[in-house]
Amino acid sequence: MVCSVKHKMLLPFRRVLAGVKIHSCRPFSVSRIKSNCKKGLVLGVYEKEKEDDSVCFTEAASSFDGSLSGKLRELLSISGPPLKKGKSRIFYGLHEDFPSVVVVGLGKNSPGFCSKENWYNCKENIRAAVSVGCRALQDLEVPLVEVDPCGDPQAAAEGAVLGLFEYDEFKKKKTFAVKTQLHGSSDTTAWERGVLYGEGQNLARRLMEAPANHVTPAFFADTIEQKLAPFSDKVIIHKRPKSWIEEQQMGAFLSVSKGSEEPPVFLEIHYNGNAESSQPPLVLVGKGITFDSGGISLKPSSGMEAMRADMGGAATVCSSIVTAAALKLPVNIIGLAPLCENMPSGKANKPGDVVKAKNGKTIQVDNTDAEGRLILADALCYAHTFNPKAIVNAATLTGAMDVALGSAATGVFTNSDWLWKQLFKASIVTGDRVWRMPLFQHYTKQVTDSQLADLNNIGKYSRSGGPCTAAAFLGEFVTAPHWAHLDMAGVMSNKDEIPYLRKGMSGRPTRTLVEFAAGLCTEP
């Protein structure tokens, strides 16, 4: 018996399909389908170039259809209109090895770079389509799913791994666990690389989504240490305590942390992927505010719960290093994450306070909710002690970044054309885009015009050019010729903008950071 239904539409019908006459087809119950579906298959189909063209299968789908003497093609033709991009259709009982087969729409077969979107449409279409197919089978509680590589096994793996993730750690009812594997004998190395890229982003999503009473600075550091434990031959981790932070004279960092009962941690990771090389390391710095109340400059209560993810910079940086280690990238990376909470208390920073950073510059703190730049200032100073090839910091730094770019791209401020090109090239491949923003002296003047100190943490005109003045502030603690600041506030969470990510914290731009690090392996 062969039956075809659109996803979530389990309707009876009678037809002659592929030579099999069905006199009656009782309504399928979800429980009946679940009990019979031990293994599923996701296959891709492209949009027709012309109306009278036949169904355009991927190579794997064409081979599967051939093994069925064209039944899948017939079913697609009579079961509804041609599949559009990102849509799916499920067939039951079509193949003895795969009780459930999902065919997904890949859109047009156009593998080239799209200059308007600054990504490869085909890669994004594959990620989105595969995620739809895998979720359809997850809803049916199919435990093992084979995935059509769709011409790009890495993109297909990323779509599967990212699309199936859902944070449910504190729920009794868990999301059904699905194992995915590559269908056919395509490039398994590319598939496995895609799995690691997706798992890396999911690690960042898990850390960002978890409640702040669980992910404290100490817990965050312990989690990353555990994730890196399998690579102890190439990784050294230092969980620096408050006493060390004081010895380093990181007054800006300490001033933020002192408002909380949770002690600060300065997490330092050394990944020696190419220990024999004389090349200086790449240094990645991530903002690690595990909860941001705003301090004395208290945030509005509405939406404050999302500030559990204000350590997204640290989450993406550390997760990218975990991924680099898993991939065995031949590059040396140092990760730095100042971790603390920003809370209001009798010990907290007060508007108008003056603190001193590691490089000796004094800072007038006119807004305690502009705390991320304070902890990053000291971390950036410390980053220079490693004579780095480049410094890249990531932070959910300004809400104004969300206003400027929304969730379309991470804003990048950099003093280096070379570094910008490397980050931009990486983002084209991952589809997790970046966009260059200005670092004019116009903005620097606004943060150096301070009544009481060398710098002001919010700038002369607090509401104008917020992301730019924040970047200019950080620039006052940078002397390295290759530095980039990634303001990821706009991409922190996902509603429905990225189809292969469920609603919640996004873990972006972890994959772009990994791809960027991988790209440096081929740099002279």
Catalytic residues: 299, 373
Same domain assignment for residues 159 and 251? no
The pLDDT of residue 14 is above 50: no
Q: Which CATH number goes with the domain that contains 123?
A: 3.40.220.10
**Mean pLDDT value across residues 387-406:** 97
- Structure confidence by residue, pLDDT tens digits, 92-128: 999 999 999 999 999 999 878 999 999 999 999 999 9
Per-residue pLDDT at 11: 35
**Mean pLDDT value across residues 338-354:** 98
Range of the domain at 15: 3-186
Alpha carbon distance 142, 211 (integer Å) = 30
Mean pLDDT across the chain, nearest whole number?
92
Same domain assignment for residues 375 and 451? yes
The pLDDT of residue 437 is above 50: yes
**pLDDT band with cut points at 50, 70 and 90 for residue 35:** very low
Name which of 47, 34, 29, 61 is nearest 146 in CA terms.
61
- Structure confidence by residue, pLDDT tens digits, 199-245: 999 999 999 999 999 999 999 999 999 999 999 999 999 999 999 99
Residue in the structure block whose two tokens are 């990645």: 284
Same domain assignment for residues 149 and 272? no
The pLDDT of residue 416 is above 50: yes
Residue 206 lies in a domain: no
Q: What is the DSSP track for 480-506? A: -SSEEEEE-GGGSEESSSSTTS-SEE-
Same domain assignment for residues 175 and 239? no
**Mean pLDDT value across residues 295-305:** 97
Residue 509, preceding peptide bond in cis (omega within 30° of 0): yes
Residue 200 lies in a domain: no
Name which of 253, 191, 265, 236 is nearest 333 in CA terms.
236
Orientation of helix 466-475 relative to helix 441-448, angle to 10°: 80
The count of structural domains within the chain is 2
Per-residue pLDDT at 459: 85
Same domain assignment for residues 145 and 244? no
Per-residue pLDDT at 443: 96
Per-residue pLDDT at 19: 33
Same domain assignment for residues 430 and 283? yes
Last residue of a domain, one of 159, 186, 213: 186
Lowest mean per-residue pLDDT among 25-29, 51-55, 327-331, 459-463: 25-29
From residue 356, alpha-carbon distances to 359, 377, 385 in Å are 8, 10, 19
**pLDDT band with cut points at 50, 70 and 90 for residue 271:** very high
Same domain assignment for residues 159 and 261? no
